[in-house]
Homo-oligomer: A and B are copies of this chain.
Amino acid sequence: MNNTENLAEHVNPWKRISSKVAYENPWITVFHEDVLNPNGNSGIYGKVHFKNLAIGIVPIDENGMTWLIGQYRYPLNQYSWEIVEGGGKIGIAPQESARRELKEECGLVAGELREIVRSHLSNSVSDELAILYVATNLTQEEAEPEDTEMLAVKKIPLKEAFTMVEEGKITDSMSVIALQHLKIEWLEGKLILP
């Protein structure tokens, strides 16, 4: 099995025969590709390329409170409570995008921003990359929501957000990953909460 591993990690076993853009909008490009699969048999692959990074931020204040954003997620046709999230343009430092989202959605200015996790959200179909942060030393200013957004904002204890994940009340992958990461830091004594 080790040989297989070593070979597989260094060689792309897929061969692309042809590629065409099947759909494009300002956020994604969908490619339809003819391929030879790892066993050399011909097949197809529909690939969704994301034009932006997915940025997520968990703000934590000195009282151990965080901010959750509630919004209706159009593709799910369902309401969702989440951490602060937004797109990060390629070519702009992700930290800068994180600070912008935090200001837009919560009116918060972060004294400190710490990256906690990077994750590929849906790697069987897309190349979407999420970069997740914790924001601390916060200053409250005015929020500046975007035109397309109708956001609810609620400030709750971070520990309560941990519980929402455990109870399945938060299902968004970026939120689950960031909050579980912070719960582990807290359980291991690396994150101190009142």
Question: Are the C-beta atoms of B80 and A147 separated by less than 8 Å?
Answer: no
Which residues from chain B contact A118 at a C-beta distance below 8 Å? 168, 171
- B8 and A173 contacting across the interface, CB-CB below 8 Å: no
Quote the shortest CB–CB distance from A188 to chain B (angstroms): 7
The distance from the CB of A175 to the nearest CB of chain B, in whole angstroms, is 9
Query: For the complex, would chain A's binding face be called helix, strand, loop or mixed by DSSP majority?
Result: mixed
**Is A39 part of the contact surface with B, judged by Cβ < 8 Å?**
yes
Contact with B along A38-60 (1 / 0, CB 8 A): 11010111111110001000000
* Structural contact, A79 and B171, CB atoms closer than 8 A: no
In the complex, which residues of chain B have a beta carbon less than 8 angstroms from the beta carbon of A5? 70, 152, 154
Binary flags per residue of A157-180, CB closer than 8 Å to B gives 1, else 0? 000000000001001110011001
A-B CB proximity, top 6 nearest: A38-B150, A180-B180, A22-B23, A5-B152, A187-B187, A37-B148
8 further contact pairs, Cβ within 8 A, besides A4-B150, A12-B72, A23-B23? A13-B150, A30-B48, A41-B147, A43-B148, A75-B124, A121-B121, A123-B172, A173-B173
Interface residues, chain A, CB within 8 Å of chain B? 1, 4-5, 8-9, 11-14, 22-23, 25, 27-28, 30, 32, 35, 37-39, 41, 43-50, 54, 70-77, 79-80, 85, 117-128, 130, 147-150, 152-154, 168, 171-173, 176-177, 180-181, 183-184, 187-188
